[in-house]
Amino acid sequence: MPASRPKLLSYLLGVPGALTLWKWFSHSRARLNLADMRRDYGLAGLAEGDAPADDPWPLWERWIAEAVKSGIREPNALVVATADAAGQPSTRMVLLKGADRGGFVFYSNYESRKAGELAANPRAALLFPWHELERQVIVEGAVEKVSAQESTVYFHSRPLGSQVGAWASAQSTVLSGREELERRVAARMAEFQGRVVPLPPFWGGYRVVPTAIEFWQGRPSRLHDRLRYTRQPDGSWRRERLSP
Ligand SMILES: Cc1cc2nc3c(=O)[nH]c(=O)nc-3n(C[C@H](O)[C@H](O)[C@H](O)COP(=O)(O)O)c2cc1C
């Protein structure tokens, strides 16, 4: 039988330091009560009539445009999931830099952890977490590198600091400290002073060619709308509604 609250309190009052501990414990529970954190979703719905049954693209274009227009922070930020040859998954955020019917493009270091995993297993899953719109879009697909020409064009559109940074950072490798990174940046800055910074051979884009795209819209009582398009062997798309 657990002690009643008043009994427990009078017991604690008799133990030196216990009350302080109890107060701290109750306070920290009140501050971070993850189990009680939830929102009900009701901003919008997603019906079959909102999009063609045989083509995910119009809905993607509408949702990305709405995400940008809504003013949410970094609407083109997405989570990329990859997996190594042993099946160990890993994730990280990147920025979407292009999207068309041919695929979703992001740029990165070709010697990073994600690059090693994509070399061993050229498949990825992407997730756009648009909390403010109570939406997520999930993409699965095969991954290929974009052409060096496409990477060069994008590389030169980046601010100079980011171009030099790409040369200086051996992404995903261990540094002795922040100073090492700053030394490497300074050395590259000096090297490229007054010159066009060339595209590093170890840097460029990845295109995720979609085989499935799911559109998720939050609804009240966790009865969300999920429409998933999957690519068929003949190249057409099939749409299905999934249970939430
Ligand atoms: C909002 C956001 C955007 C990012 N965009 C990129 C990006 O476009 N390309 C990239 O290589 N890393 C980007 N990063 C850093 C990655 O999340 C990650 O740290 C890096 O790519 C190394 O990942 P890896 O070690 O798993 O390969 C971004 C991080 C955040 C939080």
CATH code of the domain in which 90 resides: 2.30.110.10
pLDDT given for residue 40 in this prediction: 96
Whether residue 54 lies inside any domain: the answer is yes
- Contact in structure between 208 and 104 (CB atoms under 8 Å): yes
94 lines ligand 1 (CB under 6 A): yes
183 carries an active-site annotation: no
Whether residue 186 lies inside any domain: the answer is no
Structural domain range at position 130: 48-167+200-241
Region 10-20: mean pLDDT is 64
76 lines ligand 1 (CB under 6 A): no
107 lines ligand 1 (CB under 6 A): yes
pLDDT given for residue 42 in this prediction: 97
Max intra-chain CA distance, the chain: 78
Whether residue 183 lies inside any domain: the answer is no
Whether residue 209 lies inside any domain: the answer is yes
pLDDT given for residue 2 in this prediction: 41
Mean pLDDT of the chain: 93
Whether residue 141 lies inside any domain: the answer is yes
Number of domains, the chain: 1
Question: How many angstroms is it from 228 CA to the middle of ligand 1?
Answer: 27
For every residue of the chain, DSSP letters joined together read -PPPHHHHHHHHHTSTTHHHHHHHHHHHHHHT-GGG------S----GGGS-TT-SHHHHHHHHHHHHHTT-S-TTEEEEEEE-TT--EEEEEEE--EEETTEEEEEEETTSHHHHHHHHS-EEEEEEEEGGGTEEEEEEEEEEEPPHHHHHHHHHHS-HHHHHHHHH--TTS--S-HHHHHHHHHHHHHHHTTSPPPPPTTEEEEEEEEEEEEEEE--GGG--EEEEEEE-TTS-EEEEEPP-
pLDDT given for residue 31 in this prediction: 77
Question: How many angstroms is it from 180 CA to the middle of ligand 1?
Answer: 20
Whether residue 211 lies inside any domain: the answer is yes
The count of residues in the chain is 244
Region 13-37: mean pLDDT is 72
N-to-C CA span, the chain: 40
Region 126-143: mean pLDDT is 98
Share of the chain above pLDDT 90, in %: 87
Ligand 1 pocket test, candidate residues 76, 79, 108, most atoms within 8 A of CB: 108
Whether residue 6 lies inside any domain: the answer is no
pLDDT at 78 over 60: yes
Q: Give the whole-angstrom CA distance, residue 216 versus residue 225.
A: 6
| pLDDT tens column, 94-127 | 999 999 999 999 999 999 999 999 999 999 999 9
Report how far apart, in Å, the C-alpha atoms of 224 and of each of 63, 140, 221 are: 16, 20, 8
Give the bridge partners for 107, in sequence order: 205
Which position among 222, 231, 238, 239 bears the catalytic label? Answer: 222
- Stretch among 15-19, 115-119, 136-140, 153-157 having the lowest mean pLDDT: 15-19
Region 147-151: mean pLDDT is 98
Two structure tokens written together for 125: 């899953």
Q: Give the whole-angstrom CA distance, residue 232 versus residue 138.
A: 18
| pLDDT tens column, 210-234 | 999 999 999 999 999 999 999 999 9
Whether residue 17 lies inside any domain: the answer is no
Nearest CA to ligand 1 atom 29: 93
